[in-house]
Amino acid sequence: MLCFSKQLDKAISIYKNLLKDIHIDKTTAYLYNNLACIYIEKGDYKNAETYNNKSYALRESSDKNSLSQTMKTKAYIYETKEMYDEAISILNNIISCDTGYDCSVKIDSYKMLISLYQKIKRYDLEKITMRDLKQYIISCRNFSSRISYYKIFINFVANNLKNILTLSNQK
């Protein structure tokens, strides 16, 4: 664990040094979001939220297309703090918006939402969200992306087969 912790500290140092040299809002927002993720891994939620908020403020004003990444990080902060309702609300917000959110972020949000429903034993909502994820993948316009997303979906289902079988038996 100490080795991992030292690697995280080194990554934080590198990102903070980059922030001193880079003054482009989109890049700075990206660095802030990554710092938030590193602080989550360290269990330092105060710093994680600080950097997440900085990323959100910059992306809201200069890079709305990447705002969903920062929102997803905020949901992850809430999940790790066991603030499940807040995390679910953010993920549903990402999923329900059509503007500016790329397919991969939406799919990741669906997957996070499904995992959260598993944690809180809301298998009914897990099943509905799994169905919605499948429908979302079908609706993707780009055929090669759709194939790629189906592969992600199939792997996700395979990794969650135990829970899916439990759902089937609950009928």
Map out the domains of the chain as residue ranges. Answer: 8-83, 102-171
CATH topology of domain 8-83: 1.25.40
pLDDT reported for residue 32: 95
Q: Which own/partner contact pairs does 30-35 have at CB distance under 8 Å and 24+ positions apart? A: 30/55, 30/66, 32/58, 33/59, 33/69, 33/70, 33/73
| Under 8 Å between Cβ of 107 and 99 | no
| Digitized pLDDT (tens) for each residue of the chain, 171 residues in all | 444 567 898 999 999 999 998 888 889 999 999 999 999 999 999 999 999 999 999 999 988 888 889 999 999 999 999 999 999 999 999 998 865 556 778 888 998 999 999 999 998 998 899 889 888 887 776 666 667 776 777 777 777 666 555 555 554
Of 90, 101, 2, 69, the C-alpha closest to 52 is 69
pLDDT reported for residue 3: 45
Neighbours of 9 (CB within 10 A): 12
Q: What are the tokens at 57?
A: 């403020």
